[in-house]
Amino acid sequence: MNRQASLKPILCVDLRKNRIRIHKQTLHMMGDPEYIQLLVNPETHVIAVRKSIREDFLAHKVSKAQLTSKNCYELYSKILVGQLCKVNTDWDKNESYRIYGELFPEQGLASFDMTETVLLNK
């Protein structure tokens, strides 16, 4: 990975394990939020990670303990990953994909274009 790519938010989708990984650096770039919300726009093929609050029933708590021991925050959801596959019909269900995003600090949001994925080699 080159330096330019390392300065961008990164999200990975592992279709085999129904896992979404948000890199620790992405969360740091967003100001280390306590809670995040995942947003998906199937029409524009965009997934976004947004800062959220505890009272938001769609928010996920970001465990500080998990972030100190790993390089990413992981979410597991068979339903969500299945919906992402319906949006991205060219994805192979046995593969993992990395998506480089764009940061919008004033909105507390990182946006990822799912049409611009990088297949991860295992």
70-84 pLDDT tens trace: 789 999 999 999 999
Average pLDDT, the chain: 91
Q: What is the reported pLDDT for 63?
A: 83
Q: Is the pTM of this model over 0.85?
A: yes
Sheet-wide strand order for 60-61:
60-61, 35-41, 46-52, 109-119, 96-104, 10-14, 19-23, 72-76
Q: Which residue is it, tokens 């009272």?
A: 55
Q: What share of the chain is helix, strand, coil (3-state, %, to 5)?
A: 25, 40, 35
